Amino acid sequence: MDYLWWKHGVIYQIYPRSFQDSNGDGIGDLDGIIERLDYLNNGTNHSLGIDGIWMSPTFPSPMKDFGYDVADYEDVHPDFGTLATMDRLIDEAHKRSIRIILDFVPNHTSSDHPWFRESRSSVDSPKRDWYVWRDAKDDGTAPNNWIAVFGGPAWEWDQKTQQYYLHSFLVEQPDLNWRNPQVERAMHNVLRFWMERGVDGFRIDVMDRILKDPALRDNPPNPDRSWGRLMGVTGLQQHTQDQNWPDIVDAVRRIRSTVDEFPDRMTVGEVFGTPENIVRYYGGETSDGLHLAFNFSLTRLVGERWNAANVRKRVDAFESALPGAAWPNIVLGNHDIDRFISRVNHDGRGAARGRAAAVLLLTLRGTPFIYMGEEIGMPNTDVPEHRLQDPARFHHRNRDPERTPLQWTAKGGFSNSEPWLPYGDLSINVAAQEKDERSMLTLYRKLIWTRRASKALTLGDYAAIDGLPADVFAFTRAHGDERTLTMINFANDGVAFDLPKALRAGETLVSTHGEPNAGGRIELAAHEGRLVRLM
Ligand code: NOJ
Ligand code: CA
């Protein structure tokens, strides 16, 4: 009864180019996704058991940023299919109680979008003001010092009309001007277009940049260089003027009210910053903003920083920043960041950490987002120089290693021809893991189906436990009489301890390490994650 799909369910991210190719051109497509829906949820625990799919963009696009450069918001790129294929996918997904979340890209279009072609045709174009155009400074330089996320200045000079236009990402991704009400109206109509076709929600790209300082003042330099490695060139500045501008939250509220024209839909926004900043996008105490704003804080814990104290600190910080009715979410990976296992593989133990992290992801309070391939423990794939595709040098790196095809069988199974990006180590594949009781896939399935059956895990309160060994992060989830306890050992060695008096461990529901000891003193193996029922 109190089940809300986007709140209590599990969301799985598909990178459509790499999920399943149905027609042998080496590129994943919508028909391929339809073929594989039963893998995601066939109603039994022989499938993953997810509740919703977020698909990265499948709209017509010159693919400079692999679909995040949209040339038409209301159609499907022929590589992926047609509108009719999308309708069929929505229908087939709904038959399996799987919701569809599309990727809405409001901050910028492709430079091939008819709106931009019109806008750049002349300074008098009726669509001139749909993008952010400015004169050069007196000395001919760009209007301000903003830098593009993918490197270089955020301004491009247009020879023909003698002005600069703003692009927060690639030159081929001009920023829309959301201060123009016509732009806002057109983009809201895009949301309606897809909701009328049955789409259940939107992941909103670059939510935190759609409005900037209207005076376009310079960003101050960033004295803190520790961000440099993660953020690439954007770490050189503090993004006080071009990111998280205060009135974005008002624009978000208006998006919410359009989404609320249709029942049971959701939004999840891509935003960056401190927990306090991120929760603003939920709309504060009134909760009339985004349904969810991504919490990327755990993805920042790279290498040795992935430890019990840091993970707990980050979970607690988000929990305590959230206003009353707002709901958390947990993200360990996506198509822009290193695979989880590779991020924490500094001493070769990434795979073991990956298993324990799955227990964390699926038992913490909040909506879990699984990036495709994580459920079989795919690490980054080494993509040889001559096969690299991603034009962006994001975070000082290329994003191809986490975008390679999902490995279905020992031969690949993604396509019957050469995939657009190479496979990784094919000993890691779905078919092998389906048969293996101890595989990562089996662990994910157990966790998800255990979660589905538990009100404590889906709806329950969260409380961290104090006084345990420093390498152990443990927390309870409670709903009514039902209480569970999750214990994660982050150490390279086993650990033994007694639980606080008030907690008595009962049946083990899931463990990364088979069937462990019951009752009394707790013993956890190195990198064990264990979920137990409390008596
Ligand atoms: C964030 C997306 O996740 C990323 O893939 C894309 O390149 C940028 N936004 C720009 O749209
Ligand atoms: Ca294809």
205 catalytically annotated: yes
What does the pLDDT read at residue 1? 55
What does the pLDDT read at residue 285? 85
Predicted confidence (pLDDT) at residue 326 exceeds the cutoff of 90:
yes
Distances 56 to 371, 442, 502 between C-alpha atoms, Å: 11, 26, 45
In whole angstroms, what is the distance from residue 90 CA to residue 524 CA?
43
What does the pLDDT read at residue 233? 77
Say if CB 319 and CB 327 are below 8 A apart: no
In whole angstroms, what is the distance from residue 367 CA to residue 329 CA?
4
In whole angstroms, what is the distance from residue 184 CA to residue 251 CA?
9
Range with the poorest average pLDDT among 243-252, 380-389, 512-521: 512-521
Among protein residues, the one with the nearest Cα to ligand 1's atom 4 is 336
In whole angstroms, what is the distance from residue 277 CA to residue 180 CA?
25
Ligand 2 centre to CA of 418 (Å) is 11
Predicted confidence (pLDDT) at residue 244 exceeds the cutoff of 90:
yes
In whole angstroms, what is the distance from residue 314 CA to residue 300 CA?
10
What does the pLDDT read at residue 227? 61
Predicted confidence (pLDDT) at residue 231 exceeds the cutoff of 90:
no
Among protein residues, the one with the nearest Cα to ligand 1's atom 6 is 68
* Beta strands in 305-420, from DSSP E residues, in sequence order: 329-331, 367-371
Q: Read off the pLDDT of each residue in 367-380 and give the average, rounded to a whole number.
A: 98
Predicted confidence (pLDDT) at residue 182 exceeds the cutoff of 90:
yes
Ligand 1 centre to CA of 428 (Å) is 27
What does the pLDDT read at residue 394? 61
Residues whose Cβ atom is located within 5 A of ion ligand 2? 21, 23, 25, 27, 29
From the CA of 107, give the closest atom in ligand 1: 11
Find all residues with CB under 8 Å of 501, minimum gap 6, and list them: none
Range with the poorest average pLDDT among 198-207, 221-230, 256-265: 221-230
Bridge partners of 100, per DSSP, are: 53
State which H helix or E strand residue 446 sits in: helix 440-452
* Plot region of 396 (φ>0 → left; ψ -120 to 50 → alpha; else → beta): left
pLDDT: is 256 or 152 the higher one? 256
Predicted confidence (pLDDT) at residue 230 exceeds the cutoff of 90:
no
For 96-134, the pLDDT digits (tens) are 999 999 999 999 999 999 999 999 999 999 999 999 999
Q: Which band of pLDDT confidence, cut at 50, 70 and 90, is reported for residue 397? A: confident
Handedness of CA 183, 188, 192, 195 (dihedral sign): positive
Ligand 1 centre to CA of 485 (Å) is 36
For 85-104, the pLDDT digits (tens) are 999 999 999 999 999 999 99
Range with the poorest average pLDDT among 98-107, 148-157, 450-459: 148-157
Mutation to probe ligand 1, out of 58, 206, 337 (largest number of atoms < 8 A from CB): 206
Among protein residues, the one with the nearest Cα to ligand 1's atom 11 is 68
What does the pLDDT read at residue 228? 54
Q: Which band of pLDDT confidence, cut at 50, 70 and 90, is reported for residue 359? A: very high
Find all residues with CB under 8 Å of 94, minimum gap 6, and list them: 100, 198
Say if CB 40 and CB 81 are below 8 A apart: no
For 494-531, the pLDDT digits (tens) are 999 999 999 999 999 999 998 666 667 999 999 999 99
Strands 133-134 and 163-166: what pairing? antiparallel
Q: Read off the pLDDT of each residue in 383-391 and give the average, rounded to a whole number.
A: 92
Ligand 1 centre to CA of 205 (Å) is 6
Q: Which band of pLDDT confidence, cut at 50, 70 and 90, is reported for residue 229? A: low
In whole angstroms, what is the distance from residue 511 CA to residue 486 CA?
10
Bridge partners of 269, per DSSP, are: 204, 293
Predicted confidence (pLDDT) at residue 286 exceeds the cutoff of 90:
no
DSSP assignment of 464-490 equals: E--SS-TTEEEEEEEETTEEEEEEEE-
261 catalytically annotated: yes
* Of 486, 487, 481, 477, residue with least CA distance to 456: 477
* Of 411, 37, 387, residue with least CA distance to 403: 387
What does the pLDDT read at residue 493? 98
Average pLDDT, the chain: 96
In whole angstroms, what is the distance from residue 365 CA to residue 476 CA?
10
Ligand 1 centre to CA of 136 (Å) is 28
**DSSP character for 520?**
S
Range with the poorest average pLDDT among 67-76, 219-228, 423-432, 455-464: 219-228
Among protein residues, the one with the nearest Cα to ligand 1's atom 8 is 68
**Residue keyed to tokens 């709309």:** 283
486: how many CB neighbours lie within 10 A of its CB? Answer: 23
Among protein residues, the one with the nearest Cα to ligand 1's atom 10 is 68
Catalytic choice (74, 135, 196, 261): 261
What does the pLDDT read at residue 283? 94
Render the burial of 7-27: b for 16+ CB within 10 Å, e for the rest.
Answer: bbbbbbbbbbbbbbbbeeebb
Q: Which band of pLDDT confidence, cut at 50, 70 and 90, is reported for residue 26? A: very high
In whole angstroms, what is the distance from residue 443 CA to residue 525 CA?
16
Handedness of CA 321, 323, 324, 328 (dihedral sign): negative
Catalytic choice (200, 205, 208, 528): 205
